[in-house]
Structure 1
Amino acid sequence: MFTRRQRQPEESGPYWRQRGWQMSAGFLAAAVILGGVVALTSGGDDPARATAGRGPVAEHGRPGDCRTDDSAGDARPKSAPEDITWRRLGAVRVPVSPTAGPVRTEGTPWWCFARTATGAVVAAHVITSQMGMSDWEAVAERQVLPGKPREMFVFKRRTIEGAPSETADQTSVASYVGFSVSSYSKSAASVNLLMRGTDGFTGATVNLRWDRGDWKILPFGNGRLYSSVRTVQNTNGYLLWES
């Protein structure tokens, strides 16, 4: 069971000096602050379909140069996959699996995730973390479903480019330590990310949709790629990447 969530007080001052900037992994740090500029909305317009990754589109809309192990079907994971390795994306390390994806990691973005719950979990980690890279706009174009929420995200993301580099304290950047899957089908998934920083555990939820052969993020109506970051008192209810 999940523990009771505690609402954190609204922070003031420049976003890069706020605790949330330093607590969250990769771009989650920036987007937490940007997302706090406007009130969270519960839904959002249904975005139009996005263009898939590179390569010709094969049967069922999957690019011909993308092959994954989708044999798990609709089953949710009961443990972290054994074939996970960790690769660095900027300031944060992300899980990568030959079975769950991303299979294609040359260039930007990293893509080709398995059409499984584990594939959606890895996609939630990788896509959000790529938003901290210099070529984040290419990621947003290909891996965030288009519509007004994506336009809002892009607009707000551009405002952090001038943040002083010395404020990004690498020793304070959180790490991914676990996950849970709130809901899953072959067309939609809701993934909870568990992070650990200097002040303890935090969590956030990412919604994804299967679109033209790969997982893509469905942003919230206010442009956030995930829910408000919340304090987590313990890890009950999460699967840990490393036990």
Structure 2
Amino acid sequence: MFTRRQRRTDDSEPYWRQRGWQLSAGFLAVAVVLGGFAALASGGDGRAGAAASPGPLSGALTEDGRPQGCHTDDSAGVTLPKAAPKDIDWRMIGVVRVPVSAAAGPTHDDGTPWWCFAHTATGAVLAAHVITAQMGESGWRTVAAEQLVPGQPRDMFVFRRSTVGDSVSANTTDTSAVSTYVGFSVPSYTGSTARVNLLMRTTQGYAATTVNLRWDKGDWKIVPFSDGSLYAQVQSVQNTRGYLLWEV
């Protein structure tokens, strides 16, 4: 997707300005960076160790192992989807347009974070879109605390994310260059883990990346990579073959 000259330039820049970090970390969400918006490196609060505000996933679990107030249709079990769900609605998180489903989640989207996804492959797909998109917004610390699997990779994400600003959505009305999610695939799903491929259409064609998730404490959480990235390296793709397409 990038030329050798671009990669050499990236290597000489601070990590928050490198396109590889911008595309994979999710601090402005993949759609924003692919759309051409610049990282707001001077806008971060600089508080790598600041505490996250408690969120709805911090409380005790119910008898069925779900967070309080979380109910979803999990009847699909480990069956992989053969098409995108029909009840999809598109909502905005900052400048990122994400799919939501009344059946598969998030069933709670009236605060931070958006949460309660179905314990199905489709639920994991929606979580991959929604959780990453929230990382560009001001409540990202709570999202990271409650919707990323704990460990050193999460700590690395928090440290790096704290050095950059929040979404540019409050400062721009131009969304014409923002990339669009157009499809997905689920190459691996066990019920406790999921690997989700996200397909995007950009001004330069199609691009795809991968998000890993784990079912943890009654909801889907993202498993960051060892360097703190939430996404695998974004790759250009020639067509939509092998992906289930959203009806957009």
TM-score using structure 1 length: 0.80
Say whether residues 1:237 and 2:242 are aligned partners.
yes
Contact 2:24 2:231 in 1 (8 A): no
Alignment of 1:116-195 (within 5 A): 116-161=120-165, 170-195=175-200
Q: Which of 1 and 2 has higher RCO (CA within 8 Å, sep 6+)?
A: 1
Deviation of 1:201 after TM superposition, in Å, equals: 0.7
Alignment of 1:76-87 (within 5 A): 76-87=80-91
Say whether residues 1:53 and 2:27 are aligned partners.
no
Structure 2 unmatched ranges of 5 or more? 40-54
User: RMSD of the TM alignment (CA)?
Assistant: 3.3
Q: Deviations over 1:77-104 (max 9, x none)?
A: 0000000000000001111101110001
Change (3 A) 1:173 1:164: closer
Deviation of 1:8 after TM superposition, in Å, equals: 5.2
Q: Deviations over 1:116-162 (max 9, x none)?
A: 00000000000000001111111001000111101111111122228
Tell me how many residue pairs correspond in the alignment.
222
Q: Distance in 2 between matches of 1:228 and 1:168?
A: 28
Equivalence for 1:28:
30
Say whether residues 1:115 and 2:110 are aligned partners.
no
TM-score using structure 2 length: 0.79
Equivalence for 1:67:
71
Say whether residues 1:207 and 2:212 are aligned partners.
yes
Q: Distance in 2 between matches of 1:159 and 1:230?
A: 25
Change (3 A) 1:163 1:148: same
Q: Distance in 1 between matches of 2:24 and 2:154?
A: 24
**Structure 1 counterpart of 2:187, which letter?**
S
Contact 1:52 1:214 in 2 (8 A): no
Change (3 A) 1:66 1:8: farther
